[in-house]
Structure 1
Amino acid sequence: GVFRDSQIQEVLDKLERELVGLKPIKTRIREIAALLLVDRVRKSLGLTSGPPSLHMCFTGNPGTGKTTVAMRMAEILHRLGYIRKCTLAAVTRDDLVGQYIGHTAPKTKEVLKRAMGGVLFIDEAYYLYRPENERDYGQESIEILLQVMENQREDLVVILAGYKDRMETFFQGNPGMSSRIAHHLDFPNYTADELIAIAKLMLEKQQYRFSPEAEKAFYQYLPRRMQMPNFANARSVRNALDRARLRQANRLFARHQDTITKKDLITIEAEDILVSRVFRNDQPDPNQTIDQE
């Protein structure tokens, strides 16, 4: 009955719909949900078990779905009664650490007060730790976080997020933090096919679609963009689609008196993609206008 009452399946289904791919992550979320569910049932039958440790670490490159999964995790924890509020407070170093002596503790405590009863998501958590600068105030924030993670773990779940290698270095320098993290989830990069599926979902949500030629052009665009610096998975796909919509709008606007149909308004054409800078090396035509994404 607990499983049905908590409607966990609903959250898991939503995650399945929302996120393309990420099989290992979805499996881990299911496993964690099962663990928490069993803990609830044991408690209801009077079986003793200490409260499970719930703090987590999400590693992976930008745009791999870490924040979305954290939001769904908050929903699962709330439905099972592990947190009072179905909230996710997403913060970075700037929200926690002050620039002057005496500023950090109040800032960190203010964030904790706001997050209490829900989930605190600290993105790029390793920036809290700067051992090369002994006058850095990040360590003070870490000490306060550790205290709360230990003493108020029944009222706050902390999720640390960032690049895998940097998080590992962070944990080496902060064994206290490492020992309080119960679940490590590593988010893989998306494949080109998964990114195409993501692009189509994004367009559909905004009532756009690719023409068959535009889809082919996007297939050519992706591997080129993935090789370039600062590629951020789904985030870069969103940016590319924003640029394509901008170009489509300009293309339609340039037609002046021509009648514009509904089909025109919802269709992204190949030319809206092919003018991207990623094709720059492919285009010998000096008159071709190039765009920046």
Structure 2
Amino acid sequence: MREAYTFTKNSQINVVFSQKKDKQEDMPFSLDERVTHEPLEKLEAQLGRLVGMDQVKHMVRELYAWLYIYRKREEAQLKVKRQSFHMLFKGNPGTGKTTVARLLSDLFRDMEILPKGHLVEAERADLVGEYIGQTAQKTRDLVKRSLGGVLFIDEAYSLSRGGEKDFGKEAIDTLVKQMEDHKDDFILILAGYSEEMDEFLRMNPGLPSRFPMIFSFPDYTGVELLDIAKQMINEREYRMTAEAQKKLFRHLKLKSEKCESHFSNGRYVRNVIERMIRQQAVRLVRENSFDRDALMTLRACDLVLDEHFLMEQENEA
């Protein structure tokens, strides 16, 4: 008997069986057994709302399939090797790293890999203390809060900076020990710029082998940045005129093509949209125009990109 598995659009697996009756004749009989996948349906709905990120989406779906088969092998009493799920997220700000971390924490809970699946977000200040002995304790306390869930440390490379007298290295060493002591009790995700994260991994020889999964988050294209802008505008119950949309696209396309090393992507778009909304408010007060259509419409004149604003965004990134 053969089994063929195919993913369908409604996130189910079709299991179709065929059986040989004798040597001369194939007698297929249709047993269309549908296995529902609620975690996958939830996952697909969340992934569908994310702009771009095709490679990341593929890896997340691949992870789901692996977790599902992992459980099936356990149920069949087959050998299953304990897998480390610690991860590295490499990419510029505003490329969706925190969003995907939240999505994965929910997936690990739904798949019963983690009992709680909560996400604890942290940065350097949450781990590094000001005097000897404080850093190790702060790091252990942070891991303790994360047990049963995911610990997400953004800009993790900052732990490797500061020189010989800095306590960042102590935080790294403590994290490595906690990963060993609680290897099945929490998942650690370290995030940051690609080049800086590569340097960070060289700080401790025990780090690279502890992160079997690496997710790369590329910068968005101009079209993708415009799609993000449209999402933000719709969520705020605004709309753009065709002229405003063209002007915004031209600007975002130029920004994306400049390939700035630390371009803030979605964060930059959010700042541009919020600036447009403030400029629209000034214009409406000046025009004394407050009908529903006027309150919702963003015009090309509301997209003001002066040098002072652009410098502010570059400094924020």
TM-score, with length taken from structure 2? 0.82
Distance 1:64 1:170, change over 3 A: same
Q: Find out whether 1:13 has 2:44 as its counterpart.
A: yes
Distance 1:228 1:36, change over 3 A: closer
Structural RMSD (CA) = 2.3
Post-superposition Cα deviations, 1:141-193, rounded to whole Å, max 9, x if no partner, equal 11221122122121100001011111111112222011110101111110000
Any conservation in 1 of the 2:173–2:204 contact (CA below 8 Å)? Answer: no
Range that drifts further, 212-221 or 237-246: 212-221
C-alpha distance in 2, partners of 1:200/1:271? 17
Q: Bigger relative contact order, structure 1 or 2, given CA contacts below 8 A and separation 6+? A: 1
The offset of 1:276, in angstroms, is 1.4
Equivalences for residues 174-253 of structure 1 within 5 A: 174-226=204-256, 227=258, 231-253=263-285
> Hey, which of these two has a bigger chunk of strand by percent?
2
Q: Which of the numbers 43, 58, 71 marks the counterpart of 2:74? A: 43
The offset of 1:291, in angstroms, is 10
Q: In structure 1, what is the equivalent of residue 152 of structure 2?
A: 121
C-alpha distance in 2, partners of 1:149/1:53? 10
The offset of 1:40, in angstroms, is 1.1
Any conservation in 2 of the 1:123–1:160 contact (CA below 8 Å)? Answer: yes
Q: Find out whether 1:277 has 2:309 as its counterpart.
A: no
Look up the SS of the partner of 1:176 in the other structure: coil
C-alpha distance in 2, partners of 1:47/1:200? 49
Any conservation in 1 of the 2:147–2:185 contact (CA below 8 Å)? Answer: yes
Which has the larger Rg? 2
The offset of 1:292, in angstroms, is 6.3
Distance 1:291 1:254, change over 3 A: farther
> Hey, which of these two has a bigger chunk of helix by percent?
1
Distance 1:175 1:82, change over 3 A: same
C-alpha distance in 2, partners of 1:171/1:290? 33
The offset of 1:228, in angstroms, is 8.8
Any conservation in 1 of the 2:56–2:215 contact (CA below 8 Å)? Answer: yes
In structure 1, runs of 5+ residues without a counterpart are 281-288
Residue identity matched to 1:245: I
TM-score, with length taken from structure 1? 0.89
The sequence identity of aligned pairs, in percent, is 39
Look up the SS of the partner of 1:173 in the other structure: coil
C-alpha distance in 1, partners of 2:284/2:226? 24
Q: Which of the numbers 6, 18, 22 marks the counterpart of 2:53? A: 22
